[in-house]
């Protein structure tokens, strides 16, 4: 009895062992199958992603009917009806004219006098929906029409600005446009997809400038992150994202060189501006999106920034301000620097940078 019982137990153990092995083998097969499916799905996503040429072809160009010289001369120049700026985002000087992008008033205004009362400025564009920046090569004037996913192209004729072209489907929320003289091209940032559209003027016999998309550059690391701007600095380009990631790439090749991570308290980066051997960064929020952390900081290097080595310059702009504003885009012309700020009573600051310090701050508007 005892022997039979021992044999039965031995047989039962062998059976259980074989069953367990079969289960393990079956599980491994399932995992291999799942892994294969994941690989296939990833392959399908990559394969289903539009090619650069397909994305270029998706941009629609609408040329506008050009006015005659007589019609241009008879065009009414509309005065700005707002006495204050509403979330201003960019100030530029193009030739002898100053331009302000008045984002939440949905307009771009211009004046020959930067200090003139805002109601004396003229309206260049009032068909945009929360556009952010303007750029020009001296002939064409490009405005990113952010919420309409398009770029507006203007031409100056007889001292007035005429809309001559609309480029539709320029990424998702185009947010920043700049012209680079070295490459003779405009660069437009799609803020929600990590793509930069390279725009150039067509060579044709017509005297009407016509822009087209020559190329699209992708930065996959920020493809799902809000990125407000980029900075072309010689042979490199910097892209600061709203999660604190900064991409440094070669320009115009757009090959990644390095990445940096800003500390959480200043992670919601808006812009990077290099001046006097330092980096000035405007900050919209912290890593959690809290605007109370909006500020202006400077650092000796982007590596230092990633290590938490930076100076907060917020109070140097206006020490006695009653609330928190949001420093946004910095620009420079005429030997001085300018900062647009919103969410506060003042929108445009002028200052000097000397001996690595912000000095002689003036509030223009």
Q: Are 57 and 199 within one domain?
A: yes
How confident is the model at residue 295, as a pLDDT? Answer: 95
How confident is the model at residue 47, as a pLDDT? Answer: 59
Residue 35 within a domain: no
Q: Tell me the pLDDT band of 22, cut-offs 50, 70 and 90.
A: very low
Q: Are 210 and 229 within one domain?
A: no
Q: Are 172 and 256 within one domain?
A: no
Q: Are 153 and 236 within one domain?
A: no
Look at residues 218, 238, 266 and tell me which one is the last residue of a structural domain: 218
Give the angle subtended at the CA of 186 by the CAs of 182 and 189, to the nearest 5°.
Answer: 125
Between 29-43, 192-206, 221-235, 286-300, the lowest mean confidence (pLDDT) is in 29-43
Q: Are 295 and 348 within one domain?
A: yes
How confident is the model at residue 163, as a pLDDT? Answer: 97
Q: Are 101 and 212 within one domain?
A: yes
Q: Are 202 and 257 within one domain?
A: no
Share of the chain above pLDDT 90, in %: 80
Domain count, the chain: 2
Look at residues 218, 249, 267 and tell me which one is the last residue of a structural domain: 218
Question: How much is the average pLDDT of 80-98?
Answer: 97
Question: How much is the average pLDDT of 274-278?
Answer: 94
Residue 238 within a domain: yes
How confident is the model at residue 346, as a pLDDT? Answer: 81
H or E segment to which residue 341 belongs: strand 336-342
Residue 12 within a domain: no
Residue 159 within a domain: yes
Q: Are 250 and 360 within one domain?
A: yes
Residue 285 within a domain: yes
Share of the chain above pLDDT 70, in %: 87
Rounded CA-CA distance 151/53 in Å is 19
Say whether pLDDT at 299 is over 60: yes
In 3-state terms the chain splits into helix, strand, coil percentages (rounded to 5) of 25, 40, 35
**CA distances (Å), 200 to each of 65, 197, 208, 213, 303, in order?**
21, 10, 13, 7, 34
Q: For the chain, how many residues are written?
A: 365
Strand-pair category, 336-342 with 268-275:
unpaired
Say whether pLDDT at 98 is over 70: yes
Q: Are 212 and 238 within one domain?
A: no
Q: Are 258 and 206 within one domain?
A: no
Closest CA to 142 of 209, 196, 194: 209
How confident is the model at residue 207, as a pLDDT? Answer: 77
**CA distances (Å), 36 to each of 29, 42, 310, in order?**
10, 10, 47
H or E segment to which residue 332 belongs: strand 326-333
The range of the structural domain enclosing residue 56 comes to 51-218
Q: Are 180 and 240 within one domain?
A: no
How confident is the model at residue 30, as a pLDDT? Answer: 30
Interval 197-226: pLDDT, tens:
999 999 877 778 899 999 999 999 999 999
Separation of CA 318 from chain center:
27
Rounded CA-CA distance 275/298 in Å is 10
Contact 302, 334 (CB under 8 A): no
Question: How much is the average pLDDT of 236-251?
Answer: 98
Q: Give the domain CATH number at 273.
A: 2.115.10.20
Residue 26 within a domain: no
How confident is the model at residue 296, as a pLDDT? Answer: 96
Residue 323 within a domain: yes
Between 33-47, 55-69, 86-100, 304-318, the lowest mean confidence (pLDDT) is in 33-47
Say whether pLDDT at 87 is over 50: yes
How confident is the model at residue 38, as a pLDDT? Answer: 38
Strand-pair partners of 358: 353
Say whether pLDDT at 123 is over 90: yes
How confident is the model at residue 29, as a pLDDT? Answer: 33
Q: Give the domain CATH number at 70.
A: 2.130.10.10
Look at residues 200, 218, 236 and tell me which one is the last residue of a structural domain: 218
DSSP letters spanning 238-306:
EEEBTTSEEEEEETTT--EEEEEE--GGG-EEEEEEEETTEEEEEEEE-TT--GGG-EEEEES-HHHHH
Interval 130-152: pLDDT, tens:
999 999 999 999 999 999 999 99
Say whether pLDDT at 169 is over 70: yes
Residue 33 within a domain: no
Interval 301-359: pLDDT, tens:
999 999 999 999 999 988 887 677 999 999 999 999 999 999 877 899 999 999 889 99
- Count Cα neighbours of 178 within 13 Å in the Cβ-side half-sphere: 19
Q: Are 279 and 363 within one domain?
A: yes
């Amino acid at each position: 009895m005892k022997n039979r019982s021992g044999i039965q137990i031995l047989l039962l153990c062998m059976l259980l062992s074989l069953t367990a092995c079969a289960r393990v083998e079956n599980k491994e097969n399932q995992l291999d199958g799942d892994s294969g499916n994941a690989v296939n799905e990833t392959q399908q996503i990559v394969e289903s992603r539009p090619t650069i040429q397909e994305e270029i072809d998706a941009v629609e160009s609408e040329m506008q009917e050009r006015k005659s010289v007589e019609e241009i001369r008879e065009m009414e120049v509309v005065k700005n009806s707002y006495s204050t700026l509403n979330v201003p985002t960019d100030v530029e000087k193009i030739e002898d004219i100053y331009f302000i992008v008045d984002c939440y008033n949905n307009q771009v205004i211009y004046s020959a006098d930067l200090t003139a009362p805002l109601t004396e400025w003229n309206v260049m564009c009032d068909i945009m929906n929360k556009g952010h920046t303007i750029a020009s090569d001296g002939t064409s004037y490009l405005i990113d029409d952010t919420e309409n996913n398009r770029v507006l192209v203007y031409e100056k004729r007889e001292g007035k600005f005429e809309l001559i072209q609309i480029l539709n489907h320029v990424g998702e929320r185009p947010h920043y446009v700049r012209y680079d003289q070295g490459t003779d091209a405009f660069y437009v940032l799609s803020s929600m997809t990590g793509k930069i559209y390279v725009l150039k003027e067509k060579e044709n016999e017509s005297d009407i400038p016509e822009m087209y998309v020559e190329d699209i550059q992708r930065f996959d690391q920020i493809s799902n992150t809000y990125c407000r701007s980029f900075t072309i600095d010689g042979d490199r380009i910097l892209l600061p994202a709203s999660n604190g990631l900064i991409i440094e790439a070669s320009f115009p090749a757009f090959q990644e060189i390095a990445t940096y991570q800003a500390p959480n308290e200043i992670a919601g980066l808006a812009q990077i501006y290099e001046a006097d051997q330092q980096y000035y960064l405007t900050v919209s929020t912290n890593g959690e999106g809290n605007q109370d952390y909006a500020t202006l900081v400077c650092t000796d290097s982007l590596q230092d920034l990633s290590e938490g080595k930076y100076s907060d310059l917020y109070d140097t702009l206006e020490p006695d301000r009653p609330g928190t504003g949001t420093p946004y885009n910095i620009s420079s012309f005429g030997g001085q620097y300018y900062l647009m700020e919103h969410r506060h009573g003042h929108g445009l600051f002028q200052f000097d940078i000397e001996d690595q310090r912000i000095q002689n701050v003036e509030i223009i508007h």
